[in-house]
């Protein structure tokens, strides 16, 4: 049997420690192709490049791995892999994205470039997983994630994933005690409350830095925030059909304009 073909992308850019760690683990499982942004794309959500050009250059960063850096977003990277580099060729058996420097739990999944690469994979019908570590530092310790990433990817390769879903996997920061295991979770009910810090440039014109604090409204124990806080790996299955099905009959019943 062929070794599985694994497409790797991320949103922190091709030179980040997170993607280096992910590639290291993926090389133990299968044949790896990397298409990742040539610069950091954090917070890009599911952006794609419209009305502008894209660059794609081969990269020699990773020993024994075919890799490309792309000027576009994480979603662009997966599209270029699928519809240009691998056009009419063998398709990936799994798409993995990350490891993101910083958590993508709860509402952050919407803003996450890491997850947009995974969801783009799922749209193409390929099992896909985004990995994030709840530690923003550039020299974050990823060592405790390796064993679990390998287990999860192998499991997904064996069992597949239901159509229309991708996994959002988050790891707690490395603590003194080992990780307690994996929890399948729902997205926690939380949001960001922004604060805009006003400054003035040398010409006296004002500009802003967006800062924010994360506010968790969720009291449950079945969500990703709880899992991370309690030293579990959280796995949230995500869907790209955004339809709020329960609301359809509500509108059909209540609205007087139909």
List Cβ neighbours of 88 (8 Å cut-off, separation of 6 or more): none
Q: Which stretch binds its own copies (CB under 8 A): 1-9, 91-99, 127-135, 175-183?
A: 175-183
Taking the complex as a whole, the smallest distance from the CB of residue 173 to its own copies amounts, in Å, to: 20
* 220 binds its own copies per the rule CB under 8 A: no
* Between 2 and 126, CB nearer to its own copies: 126
Q: Distance between CA 171 and CA 135 in Å, rounded?
A: 9
What are the residues whose beta carbons fall under 8 Å from the beta carbon of 10, sequence distance 6 or more? Answer: 16, 18, 19, 22, 36, 37, 74, 97, 98, 99, 100, 113, 114, 117
Which residue in the set 210, 220, 221, 230 belongs to the binding site for its own copies (CB under 8 A)?
210
At residue 143, the 3 state secondary structure works out as helix
Under 8 Å between Cβ of 4 and 29: yes
Q: Is 137 exposed, middle or buried (0-12, 13-18, 19+ CB in 10 A)?
A: exposed
Instruction: Write out the binding residues for its own copies, residues 89-148 only, by CB under 8 A.
Output: 107, 109-111, 116, 119, 123-124
Q: How far is the CB of 193 from its own copies (least distance, A)?
A: 7
Q: Report the residue number, 3 or 55, with the smaller CB distance to its own copies.
A: 55
- Give the CA distances from residue 141 to residues 134, 144, 180, in Å, rounded to whole numbers and listed in that order: 11, 8, 17
Judged by CB under 8 A, the chain residues 37 through 96 that form the site for its own copies are 40, 42-51, 53-56, 72, 75-76, 79-80, 82-84
Rounded CA separation 235/213 (Å): 23
Which of the ranges 1-9, 29-37, 132-140, 230-238 carries the binding residues for its own copies, by CB under 8 A? Answer: 230-238
The answer to whether 117 and 130 have CB atoms below 8 angstroms apart is: yes
State which residue, 2 or 68, has the beta carbon closest to its own copies: 68
Judged by CB under 8 A, the stretch of 24-32, 127-135, 171-179, 232-240 that binds its own copies is 232-240
Cα–Cα–Cα angle for 72, 124, 31, nearest 5°? Answer: 80
User: Nearest distance from residue 126's CB to its own copies, in Å?
Assistant: 12
Q: Does position 193 bind its own copies by CB under 8 A?
A: yes
Q: Which residue number, 65 or 122, has a Cβ lying nearer to its own copies?
A: 122
């Amino acid at each position: 049997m062929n070794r599985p073909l694994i497409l790797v992308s991320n949103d922190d850019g091709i030179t980040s420690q997170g993607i280096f760690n992910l590639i290291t683990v993926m090389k133990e499982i299968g044949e790896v192709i990397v298409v990742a942004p040539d610069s950091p794309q954090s917070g890009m959500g599911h952006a794609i490049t419209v009305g502008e050009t894209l660059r794609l250059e081969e990269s020699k960063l990773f020993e024994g791995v075919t890799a490309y850096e792309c000027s576009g977003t994480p979603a662009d990277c997966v599209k270029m892999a699928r519809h240009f580099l691998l056009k009419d060729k063998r398709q990936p058996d799994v798409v993995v994205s990350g490891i993101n420097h910083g958590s993508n739990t709860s509402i952050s999944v919407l803003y996450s470039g890491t997850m947009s690469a995974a969801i783009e994979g799922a749209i193409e019908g390929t099992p896909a997983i985004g990995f994030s570590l709840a530690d923003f530092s550039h020299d974050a310790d990823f060592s405790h994630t390796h064993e679990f990433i390998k287990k999860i990817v192998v499991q997904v390769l064996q069992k597949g994933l239901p159509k229309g879903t991708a996994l959002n996997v988050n790891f707690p920061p490395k603590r003194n005690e080992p990780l307690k295991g994996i929890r399948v979770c729902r997205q926690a009910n939380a949001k960001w409350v922004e604060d805009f810090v006003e400054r003035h440039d040398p010409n006296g014109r004002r500009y802003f830095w967006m800062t924010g604090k994360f506010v968790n409204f969720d009291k449950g124990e079945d969500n990703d925030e709880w899992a991370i806080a309690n030293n579990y790996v959280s796995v949230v299955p995500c869907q790209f059909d955004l339809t709020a099905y329960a609301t359809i009959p509500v509108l059909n019943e209540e609205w007087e304009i139909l």
